[in-house]
């Protein structure tokens, strides 16, 4: 794995930190670009009050000199403004684990005396650090004309109608929508559903779609399980809080189709081989095929609900209702940029692996030799194959 990152930090601790290692030298990087993605993570319908407290900015602490990467690890820090409100405060013990959160499982695993150490780290506040990392990875991808964008297709029981709507229009409309949904009718219904859930003390989940364009053929590999691009994307997507399902391309619809209707026919095109469809989501045999890489992710309704849920008070052993502390109602719209970020990391990692080299200059020369396979690139001799003679 040429590119790697770690994050550290608690939800109400002093700061979140991320270290990203493996970026090439010579890539211009500025904090404003990271700030723009962080702002997207803070906006949208269904957000809790915490987002009004934070004004996320990532400080670049290392790996960048005079605005350009040096090849050294990039350390990023996001200060938690809310820390000042919690520092030194005595808070009641939190002993009523929320179903669906890490509370009970982590208390059993780590032997916590209350669930606060768990919720401080399991909190999706950590995803701010991932968005900062993702923004850096996007900068790298954009150097080579690759972009990653997403939108909401389902929220609660409302599904967007997107048939025939080109990707650029989907993304442009989603950015104008407070629920990140390109279908205005569905978006209005989604916004109403969030308000209704809020009044009822409930939360809502949804489905998000992410599309990466400009991805060259040849990222990932079929030769071993951990090199398959689809598996790496699924790992990244499922590593995100509250994401419980992932679908590469038309995976679930394909499961109901016959073989001849499920696959993307290979056709001779004017300037090379071409496809009419992209049901495989741009990945075949664990390798990108030059088509847009696209996937869907299912996000569950988040576990903190104002309406109490059945649990057991671990201090008394008695049945109890969950305790409510400030929370989102539906972070599905805010999750779009987080999901884009983890996908951007995975693609940046796979591209770095493909290109090799230590500087953007070296990589650019290599990248220019990559393109969608033309017939000439893959022309075969037609000679019979002799197996292990």
Ligand X SMILES: Cc1cc2nc3c(=O)[nH]c(=O)nc-3n(C[C@H](O)[C@H](O)[C@H](O)COP(=O)(O)O)c2cc1C
Closest CA to 34 of 74, 4, 84, 1: 74
Nearer to ligand X, 127 or 346 (CB): 127
Copy the structure tokens of residue 261: 């209707």
Candidates 54-62, 133-141, 315-323, 327-335 — which segment interacts with ligand X by CB under 6 A? Answer: 327-335
Nearer to ligand X, 44 or 216 (CB): 44
Distance CA 238, CA 49 (A): 26
Query: Per rule CB under 6 A, is residue 304 in the interface with ligand X?
Result: yes
Query: Per rule CB under 6 A, is residue 302 in the interface with ligand X?
Result: yes
Copy the structure tokens of residue 19: 């270290």
Q: How many residues bind ligand X (CB under 6 A)?
A: 19
Query: Per rule CB under 6 A, is residue 116 in the interface with ligand X?
Result: no
- The phi, psi pair for 135, rounded to 5°, reads -65, -35
Radius of gyration of the chain (CA): 23
C-alpha distances (whole Å) from 158 to each of 107, 187, 321 are 36, 9, 29
As a whole number of angstroms, the longest Cα–Cα distance in the chain is 78
Distance CA 306, CA 324 (A): 5
- The phi, psi pair for 43, rounded to 5°, reads -95, 170
Query: Per rule CB under 6 A, is residue 220 in the interface with ligand X?
Result: no
Closest CA to 314 of 110, 117, 93, 92: 93
- Determine which residue in the list 241, 254, 289, 291 makes contact with ligand X, applying CB under 6 A: 241
Count of CA atoms in the C-beta half-sphere (13 A) of 130: 24
Element (H, E) at 353: helix 332-355
- Determine which residue in the list 115, 122, 148, 297 makes contact with ligand X, applying CB under 6 A: 122
Nearer to ligand X, 86 or 357 (CB): 86
Residue 56: CB minimum distance to ligand X, A: 12
Query: Per rule CB under 6 A, is residue 40 in the interface with ligand X?
Result: no
Any residues with CB less than 8 A from the CB of 44 and at least 6 apart, and which?
Answer: 178, 179, 180, 333, 334
Query: Per rule CB under 6 A, is residue 179 in the interface with ligand X?
Result: no
Residue 103: CB minimum distance to ligand X, A: 9
Candidates 64-72, 265-273, 325-333, 346-354 — which segment interacts with ligand X by CB under 6 A? Answer: 325-333
Query: Per rule CB under 6 A, is residue 330 in the interface with ligand X?
Result: no
Query: Per rule CB under 6 A, is residue 338 in the interface with ligand X?
Result: yes
- Determine which residue in the list 230, 247, 250, 328 makes contact with ligand X, applying CB under 6 A: 328
Query: Per rule CB under 6 A, is residue 240 in the interface with ligand X?
Result: yes
- Determine which residue in the list 205, 286, 331, 333 makes contact with ligand X, applying CB under 6 A: 331
Nearer to ligand X, 204 or 338 (CB): 338
Distance CA 70, CA 223 (A): 33
Residue 302: CB minimum distance to ligand X, A: 4
Task: Please give the residue ranges that form the binding site for ligand X (CB under 6 A).
Answer: 48, 101-102, 122-124, 127, 240-242, 302-304, 327-328, 331, 334-335, 338
């Amino acid at each position: 794995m040429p590119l790697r990152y770690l994050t550290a930090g608690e939800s109400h601790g002093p700061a979140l930190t991320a270290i990203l290692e493996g970026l090439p030298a010579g890539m211009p990087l500025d904090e404003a670009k990271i700030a723009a993605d962080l702002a997207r993570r803070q906006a949208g319908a269904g957000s809790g009050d915490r987002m009004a407290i934070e004004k996320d900015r990532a400080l670049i602490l290392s790996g960048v000199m005079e605005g350009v990467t040096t090849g050294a690890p990039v350390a990023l820090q996001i200060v938690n403004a809310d820390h000042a409100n919690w520092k030194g405060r005595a808070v009641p013990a939190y002993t009523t684990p929320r179903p669906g959160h890490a509370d009970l499982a982590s208390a059993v695993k780590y032997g916590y005396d209350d669930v606060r150490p768990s919720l401080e780290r399991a909190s999706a506040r950590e995803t701010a650090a991932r968005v900062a990392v993702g923004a850096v990875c996007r900068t790298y991808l954009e150097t080579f004309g690759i972009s990653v964008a997403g939108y909401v297709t389902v929220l609660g029981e409302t599904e967007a109608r997107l048939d025939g709507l080109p990707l650029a229009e989907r993304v442009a409309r989603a950015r104008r929508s407070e629920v990140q949904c390109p279908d205005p009718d569905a978006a209005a219904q989604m916004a109403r559903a969030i308000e209704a859930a809020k009044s009822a003390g409930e939360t809502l989940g949804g489905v998000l779609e992410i599309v990466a364009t400009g991805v060259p053929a040849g990222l990932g590999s079929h030769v071993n399980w951990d090199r398959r691009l689809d598996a790496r994307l699924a790992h990244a997507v499922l590593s995100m809080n509250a994401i419980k399902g992932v679908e590469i391309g038309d995976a679930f619809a394909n499961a109901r189709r016959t073989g001849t209707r499920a696959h993307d026919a290979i056709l001779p095109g004017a300037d090379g081989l071409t496809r009419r469809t992209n049901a495989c989501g741009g990945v075949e045999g664990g390798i990108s095929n030059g088509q847009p890489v696209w996937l869907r992710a299912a996000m569950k309704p988040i576990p903190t609900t104002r309406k109490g849920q059945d649990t057991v008070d671990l201090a008394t052993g008695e049945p109890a209702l969950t305790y409510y502390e400030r929370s989102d109602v539906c972070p599905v719209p805010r999750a779009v940029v987080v999901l884009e970020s983890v996908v951007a990391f995975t693609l940046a990692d796979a591209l770095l692996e493909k290109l090799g080299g230590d500087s953007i200059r070296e990589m650019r020369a290599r990248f220019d030799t990559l393109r969608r396979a033309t017939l000439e690139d893959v022309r075969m001799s037609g000679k019979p194959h002799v197996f292990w003679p």
